[in-house]
Amino acid sequence: MEKRIRVLVAKPGLDGHDRGAKVVARALRDAGFEVIYTGLRQTPEQIVEAALQEDVNVVALSLLSGAHNHLFPRVVEMCKQKGMDDVLIVGGGVIPDADIPGLKAAGVAAVFTPGTPTSNIAEFIKANVK
Amino acid sequence: MNIVAEVLAGSKRAVARAITAVENEYDEAAGIIKQLYPHTGKAHVIGITGSPGTGKSTLTDKLAKEYRRLGKTVGIIAIDPTSPFSGGAILGDRIRMNELTLDEGVFIRSMGTRGSLGGLSRKTAEAVKIMDASGKDIIFIETVGVGQSEVDVIKAADTTIVVLVPGLGDDIQAIKAGILEIADIFAINKADRDGVERLNTEIEMMLDLNQAMVDWRPPVKRTVASKGEGITELIAAVGDHVDHLHQSGHLTVRRTERTRNELLALLDEQIGRYVLKNITSGGQFDALVASVQNREQDPYSVVANLLRQMLR
């Protein structure tokens, strides 16, 4: 059996809107991925622990609250602490262009902002998953 | 430390990796299970099954918390359907179990069915073994939302809880033959809704007609999982069933049957793989297909000849 890409789609922090995360989850399912969705208002600790137990290849973070500069790097950092260096971490949501270089420097592999075709996300993951 | 030693030491990351290895059928998978096998057979495995939307995940979450309160460690395998078209899946059972994520004594793994049709994933039994060897006392298998005949859970579980909800009207008729028969315990969830008395009576009436249950009559328990009501009673019923399994000798009977089925399934799988690799891959097989297609030979004779060659 071929390896199947497993993705955790997670909503960190205090943000009650998951329409976008659900659309992305559905698109990734249709791209043939196994998508674990854990629901709203997750702490970075919960996200990283779920990613560890599910042994995912990718953590996809969705955030609309503006706290991305704090929460995304925190998830990257905690993954590293747990030895999960091989997990690809991507982010999406309402994220100002000016913040994207900083997030990438912090270890977020890609940031997908509103208007991104969902197929781009699936292709990026396929091309970059370890 | 290698992965087997780490699983035995209870490392969550090792357990997670081992499950991935068996699920993806990596080369090391067989070796992992071989070495873990002597350390399995200690956990009590509870199957939670029922139609979609009956509250299986919420009930599992509440049962797991109660077992934790009682000092037990818990493993959960939560299964959701894989798309037959894309091969992808949305595994969403964890949404109801987020409070368990950071509990050191709990391990949750979501699995897609990956083509399995019986309500479980293809490698559920192996995932159970890995969690068992890692020291979990109680292991839940939460099936996909089932219809009438997805009853594989009884092959993997020691105690099977069938979850029903009131207000689905004649649905009870539909399950009479299928999942009714596999229940060791019935849980009527969402029991604060109208129709609970009627459903309860209907189940009891069906149980009255069942002649096979000479020494264990499945108890019917009412729960409101979202409010945590009826959970201790349900766990008490599981405890009664465990006692019954031990006293009656049924645990040994069930586990012997399970071992037999596992050996048969493994044999079947390996023979199938051998056939794919050695028989159907060459051009000779295509020639045989053509000869059957052209009515030069019949399928039974061709297969009989192939078998003779294979077993020589």
Of the candidates B30, B34, B13, B12, the one whose C-alpha atom is nearest the C-alpha of residue B22 is B30
Residue B297 lies in a domain: yes
Contact B89 A29 (CB under 8 A): yes
| B22, B24, B82, B94: best to mutate for the A interface, most A CBs within 10 A | B94
Mean pLDDT along residues A79-100: 94
Residue A84 domain boundaries: 6-128
Per-residue model confidence (pLDDT) at position B209? 79
Mean pLDDT along residues A98-111: 96
> Do residue B288 and residue B200 come from a single domain?
no
> Any CB–CB contact under 8 A between B233 and chain A?
no
Q: Which residues of A touch B90 (CB under 8 A)?
A: 25-26, 29, 35, 37
Per-residue model confidence (pLDDT) at position B172? 60
Per-residue model confidence (pLDDT) at position A1? 47
Contact B13 A2 (CB under 8 A): no
**Helix, strand, or coil here: B142?**
strand
Per-residue model confidence (pLDDT) at position B241? 97
> Do residue B197 and residue B280 come from a single domain?
no
Count of structural domains, chain A: 1
Of the candidates B44, B42, B41, B43, the one whose C-alpha atom is nearest the C-alpha of residue B239 is B44
Residue B291 domain boundaries: 261-311
Contact A3 B88 (CB under 8 A): no
Mean pLDDT of all residues belonging to chain B? 91
Q: What is the pLDDT confidence band of residue A109, given thresholds at 50, 70 and 90?
A: very high
Mean pLDDT along residues B65-77: 98
Interface of A with B (CB under 8 A): 1-4, 6, 25-26, 28-39, 42, 45-46, 49-50, 52-55, 82-84
Of the candidates A10, A32, A12, the one whose C-alpha atom is nearest the C-alpha of residue A119 is A32
Mean pLDDT along residues B241-267: 93
Residue B53 lies in a domain: yes
More confident residue, B122 or B91: B91
Closest-CA distance of chain B to residue A77, Å: 17
Closest-CA distance of chain A to residue B136, Å: 14
**Helix, strand, or coil here: B277?**
helix
Per-residue model confidence (pLDDT) at position B274? 84
Residue B123 lies in a domain: yes
Give the helix/strand (H/E) hosting A69.
helix A68-81
Q: Please give the residue of chain B at the shortest CA–CA distance from A2.
A: B24
> Do residue B237 and residue B282 come from a single domain?
no
Q: Please give the residue of chain A at the shortest CA–CA distance from B81.
A: A34
Nearest-10 crossing angle of helices A19-30, A118-128: 60
Per-residue model confidence (pLDDT) at position B177? 58
Q: Tell me how far apart the alpha carbons of residues A31 and B297 are, in angstroms, rounded to a whole number.
A: 42
Q: What is the pLDDT confidence band of residue B118, given thresholds at 50, 70 and 90?
A: confident
pLDDT, one tens digit per residue, over B23-69 is: 999 999 999 999 999 999 999 999 999 988 899 999 999 999 999 99
Q: Please give the residue of chain A at the shortest CA–CA distance from B131.
A: A53
CATH classification of the domain holding A111: 3.40.50.280
Q: Tell me how far apart the alpha carbons of residues B35 and B30 are, in angstroms, rounded to a whole number.
A: 9
Count of structural domains, chain B: 2
How many percent of chain B have pLDDT more than 90? 69
Positive or negative, the CA dihedral B100, A78, A28, A19 is positive
> Do residue B182 and residue B95 come from a single domain?
yes
More confident residue, B78 or B177: B78
Lowest mean pLDDT among A1-5, A14-18, B172-176, B296-300: B172-176
Q: Please give the residue of chain B at the shortest CA–CA distance from A84.
A: B13
> Do residue B186 and residue B300 come from a single domain?
no
Q: Structure pTM? A: 0.91
Q: Please give the residue of chain B at the shortest CA–CA distance from A28.
A: B88
- Angle among Cα A34, B28, B271 to the nearest 5 degrees reads 90
pLDDT, one tens digit per residue, over B176-222 is: 656 778 899 999 999 999 989 988 988 888 888 776 667 899 999 99
Look at residue B171 and tell me whether its pLDDT is greater than 60.
no
Last residue of a domain, one of B195, B219, B247: B247
Mean pLDDT along residues B95-114: 95
Per-residue model confidence (pLDDT) at position B208? 84
> Do residue B266 and residue B233 come from a single domain?
no
Q: What is the pLDDT confidence band of residue A130, given thresholds at 50, 70 and 90?
A: confident
| B27, B101, B102, B111: best to mutate for the A interface, most A CBs within 10 A | B101
Residue A1 lies in a domain: no
Per-residue model confidence (pLDDT) at position B175? 55
Contact B16 A45 (CB under 8 A): no
Contact A34 B25 (CB under 8 A): no
